[in-house]
Amino acid sequence: MRYHHSILALGVLALLSAGGTRAQDVAIMGFGPSSAQRQRALEARIIGFPSGDRMAVYHRALTAEPHHAGTPANHRTAEYIAARLREFGFDSVLMNRYEVLLPWPVERRVTLLAPERYELRLNEPPLDPDPDTRKRGALPPYNAYAADGDVTAEVVYVNYGIPEDYRVLDSLGISVAGKIVIARYGRSWRGIKPRLAAERGAIGCLIYSDPEDDGYAQGDVMPEGKWRPEWGVQRGSVMDMPLYPGDPQTPGRPSKPGAERIPLSETPTLQKIPVLPISYGDALPILRNLAGPVAPAGWRGALPITYHIGPGPARVRIRLRSDWSVRPIVNVIGVLKGSERPEKVIMAGGHRDAWTFGARDPISGAVSLLETARALGQLAQSGARPKRSIAIASWDAEEQGLIGSTEYGEEFAAELKQDLIVYLNRESYTAGDFDAGGSHSLQPFINEVTKAVRMPDGSATVFDSWRAKAGPQDLVRVDGTVQVRIGALGSGSDYTVFLDHLGIPSVNLGFESGNGIYHSLYDTHWFYTKFGDPGFAYGERLAELVGLFLLRLANADILPFDYASTAETVDRYLDELEREIENRKLDLDLSGVRRANRRMGATAEALNAEVARILASDLAAAENGRYRESLARLNDLMARVEQAFLDEGGLPDRPWFRHQIYAPGYYTGYGVKTLPGVREAIEQNDVETARRMAGALASSLERARKLLVEAIAAAAEIGN
Ligand SMILES: [Zn+2]
């Protein structure tokens, strides 16, 4: 029984005046009838407010020069965003500073020595007619946190360089020990590739972009189309983030000036071997000079050669050296103060630093978020302040390893666990399909918000378009209505510290379509306004969607968390694990976890019914001050349930990651592993660890259930 679809709808129907307004136009999850009407009136002032023309102005200003973390140019983008937030009427704008390890390359040379000689180009030429690509000051292509070194060896092609690829190599009797591997981008977070290669004895690693994945096999390349051109290179960090993100030398604590730092030689998240990213133009001479077995069908890309695995005869020398300096970074955090519970905060954030110009990644997201901020600011200035505070964050040094957000989360851990209710991550987007991931307690809420915003062409709501693209396995029927399932979050953006380390309910959503400019010199204003989101039409809709998301959470009578949705999701994950246990014939029984989860789900349903009762009778309306204290207690308890899923001991061998339902996979990186402690142990056939982690998971579900029971008790005081 989900209150927003059933009981509340009936309550509201009775109160409606004639005129054909349907119940679902008025009912909003978490709002009683009278507050829902006020909320709809506020939302009508957000819809249509964001302006693509303004976004184009912000976008031009924020992508005018390369602005990687630790540079004066990126500090100028911080000043620009801070100035806009002040202009929009935000009450406080904090410049939040850290000093973190940011290696920049000083020597990069790769030479094919045999059987022919070729000096790799390792840079990206300007592309007419895009004037920005002639500008200087961008970081050249490199992989941050790769080891310094000078290595020479024969080459082995390892496909994507993920565990199953090494199983194929093993079956062919090919070892990478003492060799340099060449892997293609894709299928895993890039840092997994050199880590696995080094674990198997490789001494160097090249990662290239195969045209099959984001080049000419997908469509026309830049500048005729949006796909990766011959010399385009994907930069990126290879910091071992599945261990812990953030400044590598200060895990678990903020990297303030003077903070204790692990010596570089002992820092565990640095790669052990030299790694460089290269273009397919540079990869071709190496790959065409490999002999040995023909690569299996799934290993062949779109280059005009027969792919061989090697080793050799291609022989390569890599020379790589970085300047390992500690450099200043700055987050910008603007707060619009709430009128009733100003200490409680709903936050939306995204990063601002870029590998080059960052037109898509991340400035597209930053300019859309600025328009959300302007919309919320104008409401507040006209007297319609949110009840809870709304914060907008602009993170620094995300590209190197989620550093700005992680340091912030580590510095303010206690305050955030106390008062931050939801974190919404909003960075890059492009015109394309909608998708969302996050804490499943917010799945019904996200579904509802997407029904209130239309796609740019006006033909359908975001929800309708999202639902139309979803497969049957992505849909769930709840009390006669259909919800699209949201994904689980792995890693790869700034929600990581909030969700995985602090247990703050977190969401990542947006529009997206593929492209081949990712982390290259060609991620420019010219690209973005031609191919990314011409006219910022999707940016406008995204600004509305985020505005509604924040304002509903800020103004809700009762926070719209639904932990029955979490239980339903965990139940499906347990199905997957039980299939895996059967496949592997492991002696492992998860029925204790299953029971704990069912109990939590039943308690959540009971709480949902109590919440529905309170909302339907309008007992939570602002005019009804009698229940203020019980309501505050109810809301505070509901906001803390996600924290029950943290286990203080963390995941095996990576204690920084504490969430027992979601984590980035240790061997997939960005890719999520759900119920990670149990699942990864099962995948390693480690029954003992799996049993221990199943115990930790069951305890976390039980802690959540107890909080829900307390919430039911608080709810029972209201109106009874
Ligand atoms: Zn990004």
CA distance 361 to 353: 9
Q: Which of 544, 123, 144, 539 is nearest to 362 (CA)?
A: 539
CA distance 440 to 444: 8
Range of the domain at 654: 563-716
- Per-residue b/e over 176-190, b at no fewer than 16 CB within 10 Å? beebbbbbbbbbbbb
Last residue within a domain, chosen from 487, 521, 555: 555
Q: Where are the alpha helices (DSSP H) in 45-118?
A: 52-62, 72-87
Same domain flag for 337 and 385? yes
Indicate if the pLDDT at residue 671 is higher than 80: no
Same domain flag for 606 and 676? yes
Residue 706 lies in a domain: yes
Last residue within a domain, chosen from 308, 323, 338: 323
* Band (336; pLDDT cuts 50, 70, 90): very high
DSSP class of 95 = E
Q: Are strands 388-395 and 326-336 parallel, antiparallel or unpaired?
A: antiparallel
| Higher pLDDT pick, 5 / 405 | 405
DSSP readout, 508-577?
EEEEE---S-TTSTT-SHHHIIIII-GGGHHHHHHHHHHHHHHHHHHH-SS----HHHHHHHHHHHHHHH
Interval between CA 679 and ligand 1 midpoint (Å): 28
Indicate if the pLDDT at residue 499 is higher than 90: yes
pLDDT tens per residue, range 378-428: 999 999 999 999 999 999 999 999 999 999 999 999 999 999 999 999 999
591 is catalytic: yes
Same domain flag for 311 and 372? no
Interval between CA 350 and ligand 1 midpoint (Å): 8
Last residue within a domain, chosen from 555, 572, 588: 555
Is residue 217 within 8 Å of residue 223, measured between CB atoms? no
Q: Which of 99, 154, 398, 410 is catalytic?
A: 398
Residue 258 lies in a domain: yes
Same domain flag for 97 and 124? no
CA distance 385 to 159: 54
Same domain flag for 606 and 705? yes
Tell me the whole-structure pTM to 2 decimals.
0.95
* Band (490; pLDDT cuts 50, 70, 90): confident
Residue 25 has a pLDDT of 53
Q: Which of 576, 582, 591, 717 is catalytic?
A: 591
Same domain flag for 225 and 346? no
CA distance 710 to 234: 50
The token pair that represents 474 in the structure block: 């992505």
pLDDT tens per residue, range 58-86: 999 999 999 999 999 999 999 999 999 99
DSSP readout, 236-290?
EE---TTT--S-TTSTTS---TT-----GGG-TTS-SS-EEEE-HHHHHHHHTTB
Q: Which of 308, 351, 440, 659 is catalytic?
A: 659
Interval between CA 559 and ligand 1 midpoint (Å): 29
Residue 537 has a pLDDT of 98
- The domain total for the chain is 3
Q: Which of 354, 282, 295 is nearest to 78 (CA)?
A: 354
Q: Which of 175, 115, 179 is nearest to 153 (CA)?
A: 179
Is residue 357 within 8 Å of residue 523, measured between CB atoms? yes
Indicate if the pLDDT at residue 126 is higher than 50: yes
Interval between CA 215 and ligand 1 midpoint (Å): 20
Positive or negative, the CA dihedral 134, 138, 143, 148 is positive
CA distance 210 to 703: 47
